[in-house]
Every structure is written in structure tokens, then in C-alpha cells.
Amino acid sequence: MARSVLVTGGNRGIGLAIARHLAAKGDNVAVTHRGSGAPEGLFGVRADVTDTEQIDAAFKQIEEHQGPVEVLVSNAGITDDTLLMRMSEDQFTRVLDANLAGAYRVAKRASRGMLRAKWGRMVFISSVVALSGGAGQVNYAASKAGLVGVARSITRELGSRNITANVVAPGFVVTDMTDALTEEQRSSALAQIPAGRYGQADEIANAVGFLASDEAAYINGAVLPVDGGLGMGH
């Protein structure tokens, strides 16, 4: 039976690849957007993950359209890189609010329906820098590391109800986010990737698809790197 899926930030980039992957497997997939609308074949709900009221309204629309969210992919995220010495408090808190508090907000709202259904899948999109750190990314790395604590705490709270909460930690994936980096930043990242190439959004989607499946029922609180070996050792 088609499951009700929500992918935050599923209107483009990695989120869109995840949304398309799950839709191709037969799920009903909703995606959030902040004004761009939803790509063909996906149900778009307008929501900014920094706004609890917008999230609640989006969930209500999804519930009416395709039923309570059974699979949540918390993917929406931003970067605002700069060295610690120059990082303003606003730059720090804005990134934490979108990437970490945003994930908390959607997970909390989704948990209601999952508890009622006694079944659910949550997948949080973190990053290789969550565990390795990244120069210029005190805000971003902190937000992505925080997702590990979020997922593992949810696992302890809800694991006995057939609800799993896992983390996918992508390495360097070709999207608008990485297109914004300088050529020098991109080639220095490439030099450190054992696979010798950047990742593709579809490769992240494959991992998310597995964690969201019935086959992954006994995988809970895990951090799955999808990074060509970039983060090995953590």
C-alpha cells in the first residue's frame, strides 16, 4: 500500500532525489517548498521549517491529502560558512534553527501520527562534517552533529513502537549547496575522497529508501555514511 511520506526541502537537490525515489517505489510523497512550488508528481506544501505554525498547517494539508505522515525525511538545511572568529551569533543561531530545531519541529509533529499508527520511519539528513568537523562550519557541523542526538533519543523513546529514527551522513554531493563553493574548496574535498569522485543525489536517496523500508525494521539510531569513504574512522 502507498505510504504517506514527507520530505522537507524535497523541492530540489538531495531532497528532490529522495522524494522521486520514494514516489517511484509507489509512495505518496509530499514535499515542502518556500514558494517555488512542487515538481511534477509530488504534493507540495508551503512551509518554512523555522516556523512551527507553518509546519502544523503543512501536516494538516498532508493528512487531508494522503493521510498521516508515516515516513518523515528531515532534509531541509542551509549553510552559512565563515571562520569562528568572524561568525556572528545570528549566523550561528540561524543555521541551528533551520537544521536542528527544524528537524525537532517536524519530528515532533510527525511522531503523533506514528505513535497512533504504531509504525513510523524517520530519517535525518546530517553530513560527514557532523563527526569530522569542518573549517568555517562551526554552526553547520554543530547542527548536523545534533541530529545524531535527536535520532538516538527518539530511538530510545519510540523504538518499542515500530518507529525507527536513523541518520544519513552524506559526503560531498553535487547540488546547488556545493556549487556555491569555490573551485579550490571543491578540488581539495575531491582529493580526500577515497572513491575519487563526488556523490550524486540519487546515491543518498538509495540509502534513505532502504532505511525507510520494512527491511530496515531492526536498524535504529544508526548513522549511515554515504560519502565514498570521506569520513572513515568515525
Q: Please say whether the beta carbons of 171 and 228 come within 8 A.
A: yes
Please say if 140 is a catalytic residue: yes
Report d(CA 55, CA 60) in Å as an integer.
Answer: 9
Check residue 63 for interaction with ligand NDP (CB under 6 A).
no
Contacts to ligand NDP from residues 145-174, by CB under 6 A: 170, 172-173
Q: Which is nearer to ligand NDP, 162 or 192 (CB)?
A: 192
* Options 38-46, 48-56, 80-88, 207-215: segment touching ligand NDP (CB under 6 A): 48-56
Q: Where are the alpha helices (DSSP H) in the chain?
A: 13-24, 52-66, 89-96, 102-117, 129-132, 138-158, 176-179, 183-191, 201-211
Check residue 61 for interaction with ligand NDP (CB under 6 A).
no
- Pick the binder of ligand NDP from 3, 13, 55, 110 (CB under 6 A): 13
- Pick the binder of ligand NDP from 2, 87, 131, 177 (CB under 6 A): 177
Question: What does the buried/exposed string (b/e) look like for 163-201 if buried means 16 or more CB atoms within 10 Å of the residue's CB?
Answer: bbbbbbbbbbbebebbeeeeeeeeeebeeebeeeebbeb
Q: Tell me which residue of 218, 112, 99 sits closest to 155, measured CA to CA.
A: 218
Check residue 50 for interaction with ligand NDP (CB under 6 A).
yes
**Residues shown for the chain:** 234
Contact letters (x/-) for ligand NDP, 119-138, by CB under 6 A?
A: ------x-x-----------
Q: Which is nearer to ligand NDP, 25 or 46 (CB)?
A: 46
Report d(CA 180, CA 203) in Å as an integer.
Answer: 21
Helix (H, G, I), strand (E, B) or coil at 138: helix
Q: How far is the CB of 151 from ligand NDP (least distance, A)?
A: 14
Binding site for ligand NDP (CB under 6 A): 8-9, 11-15, 32-34, 36, 48-50, 75-78, 98, 102, 125, 127, 170, 172-173, 175-178
Catalytically annotated residues: 140
